[in-house]
Structures are given as structure tokens and as C-alpha cells.
């Protein structure tokens, strides 16, 4: 029975109370009690029926809650990620590059001041630096997920986002292999598994071809120069040292520190075969290297005196898919005899022209990752 019919029946029963006036006083009390009990029951039924119908209408009007899927990020945290992922904020240039390589750039609603590759990333809304991003700006962008990386972002940032109810997924690639698997995992988190599988397959095929060409050749002993003054190189456990190995090279610096400062006297003692530099503009660097070779200490290096320099793309500085192109470039510079066949097209998945670097800022070296 509809609730309004129940209410009407209750009112009709209540009207019968007038008849009680002509009933004896003794019987009036009995009839009155029965009538009141019946009326109360009917009113309660009507109220419940109305509330049930009204609640159904409100429930139908309420928007559905997003489905959340649990992922374990690369530092072991459980992260509940809304699905589908439509709005992404990246807190590292390497992660921004990965999003573009996966073809998910339309979902990228914000990144850092140092996210400069590909050039289109410069047009995205900025949330500040990677080390101290603005939480207010991140919240204002209403992201479904924020991407961070252990080597660059602070854990405090990730925890703060978690407390704000924003899913924060952290990566931690330390080798070339890690970069491939990390990118594939990221593709699954943001819902572009097919693109991730295709990208991973392409990168693995290129690495396999590279290994076929250089694996049997003796590795070149190199000094990878991160900074010339003071002289800073890379430690043995960094992804750049691993990239050197894939290119058929071995760093003469075997420090356990990630970015060790090295004395020039020690490098002179080690006498590397080749000095490796990373830059977007190789022509400018070549002129700088000519001047560098004339400086005290540097001119005691045979590699400097004989101009045995290799200048490769600054893509080598970021643990992103584009790193594979830098490895291929270095391998060709160190082992030209292994590449007698025609070179493949230079523009691979995820590659595009690089913008000019931004030297001189304290955060620049860190944000290269």
C-alpha cells in the first residue's frame, strides 16, 4: 500500500473517535485504546514506507563512489588508486617523460618546474620544485594520483599527500632493467597496460640488439663527468653506471656514493680511455672541452690531450625510457666498429628533441632525475 493511502486510512480511523462519545464510559476506554494502537501502527508503517521511498530517491541521485584498486609501490607502500585514473600530477622529470612515452600526457594535469621534456611538458601547470612542491597547488589540481620517485622526492611529501587522502605512488628504479619494469608497472597503475607492454617490448628489443653488438668487445674505461669544477662523477651502484655497462663501458670511479666528488689527481692516476659528458648541445660542449684540456691537471690526462671525448644526450641523466637512446648513442661513440651496419632511425618511442639545459641552479642536478 502506498504511504499516502496508509495515512488516509489512519485519518479515517481517527474520525471514528466521535462515535466513542455515545458509548458508555467503561467501553469507551477499551475501544479508545484499541483505536489508538491501530492508528499508531498504521502511522509508523506509513512513516517507514515514506522514508524508504525517499531514501531510495536520494541514493539514486548520489554520484557513485570511485572504485579503488590497491597497488604496492616500489618502496613497499600499499596505495589505493581510484580507477579509472583521469588526472595525474608528476613530481619528477623522469616520471613526466615516462607518462609522455606511454601516451598518457592528456591525463597529466601538473608537474614540476624542472619537467622540460618533451617540450610540451613545459606548458603543464607547475606545482613548484621536486623537493618542496606546493601541496596547495597539488590539491587544487584534484589529482587521482600523484607520482613520486624515491631518489628525488622527500618521503614527507608522500606522507603529507597520503594524509590529505590523495593516492601517492612512488618509484625507485636503480638499474636499466629497473627502469623498464618500473615503467611497465606504472602503465598498469594508470590504466594503460597495452601501451606499457608495447613500450617495454620495444626497449627490450633495442637493448638485446645492443648487447649482440658490443657484448664480446672489451669495455672502454671511462670517466663520466657530471660536473667539472668540482669534479663530480657517478658511483658504481647508480643507474648511470649501469647504463655505461650496457654501452660497453666501465667507469673508473668505483665509489659507493651515488654522486662522489673525485680528485683530479686520482683521475690522472687512473687514466681513463675516454671522458664522457652529457649535454643537449654537443657543439658548445666540444668548444668547452678544448678549453678544459688546457687547464692544469686536465692536460695530464691522455684522454684530454688526445681529445678522446664522448658527448651524448643528457637523456642519460634521467631514469626514463629515453635513457635507452643515450645508451645506444654512447655505444656507437665508444665502439664504432660494432655498428658498420646502417643506423636505425634516431626517433624511437618516447623520444623527441630536448630543450636547452638549465645549469647553475642548486636543484638542477637533482631534478635531472
Residue pLDDT, tens place only, 71-110:
999 999 999 999 999 999 999 999 999 999 999 999 999 9
How far is 96 from 147, CA to CA, in rounded Å? Answer: 9
Q: Residue 335 — φ and ψ, nearest 5°?
A: -130, 65
Cell numbers given for 86: 583521469
Question: What is the spatial distance between Cα 142 and Cα 137, in angstroms, rounded to a whole number?
Answer: 9
Do 241 and 324 belong to one domain? yes
The answer as to whether 183 is a domain residue is: no
- Based on the fold, state whether residues 49 and 84 are members of the same structural domain: no
What total number of domains does the chain contain?
3
Least confident of 169-173, 189-193, 256-260, 281-285: 281-285
Indicate if 262 and 352 belong to the same structural domain: yes
182 found inside a domain = no
Shared domain for 284 and 333, answered yes or no, is: yes
pLDDT higher than 50, residue 34: no
pLDDT of the residue at 284: 67
Pairing of strands 274-278, 67-72: unpaired
Rounded to whole angstroms, the Cα distance separating 185 from 181 reads: 6
pLDDT digits (tens, 9 = 90+) for 129-168: 999 999 999 999 999 999 999 999 999 999 999 999 999 9
**Interval 225-269: pLDDT, tens:** 999 989 999 999 999 999 999 999 999 999 999 999 999 999 999
Let me know whether 303 and 233 are in one domain: yes
Confidence of residue 124 (pLDDT cuts 50, 70, 90): very high
Structural domain of residue 269, as residue ranges?
218-367
Query: Tell me, what's the pLDDT at 289?
Result: 84
Alpha-carbon gap, residue 348 to 343, rounded angstroms: 12
Please state, rounded to an integer, the average pLDDT across all residues of the chain: 83
Return all residues near 280 (Cβ < 8 A) that are at least 6 apart: 313, 314, 354, 355, 356, 357
Confidence of residue 291 (pLDDT cuts 50, 70, 90): confident
Quick one: pLDDT at residue 343?
Answer: 55
Give 287's pLDDT tier (boundaries 50, 70, 90): confident
Say how many C-beta atoms besides its own lie within 10 A of residue 103's C-beta.
17
Q: What is the pLDDT of residues 312-349, one digit of tens each?
A: 999 999 999 999 999 999 999 999 999 987 655 555 65
Is residue 179 situated within a structural domain? no
Is the domain of 332 the same as that of 233? Answer: yes
Residue of 201, 179, 348, 316 whose CA lies nearest to 247: 316
- Judging by beta carbons within 10 Å of its beta carbon (0-12, 13-18, 19+), is residue 59 exposed, middle or buried? exposed
Whether residue 39 is found in the same domain as residue 97: no
Q: Find where cell 522514508 sits.
A: 51
Q: Say whether both 29 and 138 belong to one domain.
A: no
Pair 94, 18 in one domain:
no
Q: Are residues 263 and 303 in the same domain?
A: yes
CATH number at residue 341: 3.40.50.1980
pLDDT in tens, 203-212: 999 999 999 9
Asked whether residue 353 falls in the same domain as residue 263, the answer is yes
Q: Is the pLDDT of residue 4 over 60?
A: no
- For residue 174, the 8-state DSSP code is -
C-alpha cell, 172 = 625507485
Beta strands in the chain (DSSP E): 67-72, 78-83, 88-90, 108-110, 145-149, 167-171, 220-225, 249-251, 274-278, 309-312
* Residues 149 and 225 grouped into a single domain: no
Name the pLDDT band for 42 (thresholds 50, 70, 90). very low
Report if residue 268 sits inside a domain.
yes
**CA triplet 150, 154, 159: central angle to 5 degrees?**
100
C-alpha distances out from residue 245 to 141, 211, 277, Å: 41, 10, 16
The grid coordinates listed for 131 are 623537493
Give residue 346's pLDDT: 54
Amino acid at each position: 500500500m502506498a504511504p499516502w493511502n496508509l495515512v488516509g486510512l489512519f485519518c479515517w480511523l481517527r474520525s471514528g473517535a466521535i462515535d466513542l462519545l455515545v458509548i458508555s464510559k467503561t467501553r469507551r476506554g477499551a475501544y479508545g485504546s484499541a483505536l489508538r494502537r491501530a492508528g499508531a501502527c498504521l502511522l509508523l508503517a506509513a512513516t517507514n514506507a515514506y522514508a524508504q521511498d525517499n531514501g531510495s530517491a536520494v541514493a539514486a541521485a548520489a554520484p557513485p563512489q570511485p572504485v579503488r584498486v590497491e597497488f604496492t609501490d616500489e618502496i613497499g607502500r600499499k596505495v589505493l588508486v581510484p580507477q579509472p585514473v583521469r588526472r595525474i600530477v608528476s613530481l619528477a622529470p623522469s616520471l613526466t617523460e615516462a607518462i609522455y612515452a606511454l601516451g598518457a600526457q592528456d591525463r597529466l594535469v601538473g608537474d614540476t618546474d624542472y619537467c622540460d621534456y618533451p617540450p610540451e611538458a613545459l606548458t603543464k601547470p607547475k606545482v613548484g620544485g621536486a623537493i618542496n612542491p606546493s601541496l596547495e597547488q597539488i590539491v587544487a589540481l584534484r589529482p587521482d594520483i600523484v607520482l613520486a620517485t624515491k631518489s628525488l622526492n622527500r618521503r614527507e611529501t608522500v606522507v603529507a599527500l597520503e594524509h590529505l587522502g590523495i593516492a601517492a605512488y612512488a618509484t625507485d628504479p636503480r638499474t636499466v632493467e629497473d627502469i623498464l619494469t618500473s615503467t611497465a608497472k606504472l602503465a598498469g597503475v594508470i590504466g594503460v597496460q597495452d601501451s606499457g607492454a608495447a613500450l617495454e617490448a620495444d626497449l627490450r628489443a633495442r637493448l638485446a640488439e645492443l648487447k649482440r653488438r658490443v657484448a664480446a668487445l672489451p669495455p672502454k674505461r671511462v670517466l663520466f663527468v657530471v660536473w667539472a669544477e668540482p669534479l663530480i662523477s657517478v658511483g658504481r651502484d647508480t643507474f648511470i653506471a649501469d647504463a655505461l655497462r650496457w654501452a660497453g663501458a666501465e667507469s673508473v670511479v668505483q665509489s659507493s656514493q651515488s654522486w662522489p666528488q673525485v680528485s683530479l689527481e686520482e683521475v690522472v692516476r687512473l687514466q681513463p680511455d675516454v671522458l664522457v659528458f652529457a649535454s643537449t648541445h654537443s657543439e658548445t660542449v666540444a668548444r668547452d672541452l678544448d678549453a678544459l684540456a688546457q687547464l692544469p691537471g686536465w692536460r695530464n690526462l691522455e684522454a684530454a690531450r688526445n681529445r678522446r671525448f664522448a658527448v651524448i644526450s643528457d637523456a642519460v641523466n634521467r631514469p626514463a625510457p629515453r635513457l635507452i637512446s643515450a645508451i645506444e648513442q654512447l655505444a656507437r661513440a665508444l665502439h664504432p666498429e660494432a655498428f658498420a651496419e646502417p643506423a636505425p632511425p634516431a626517433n624511437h618511442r618516447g623520444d623527441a628533441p630536448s630543450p636547452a639545459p638549465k645549469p647553475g641552479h642548486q636543484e638542477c642536478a637533482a631534478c635531472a632525475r
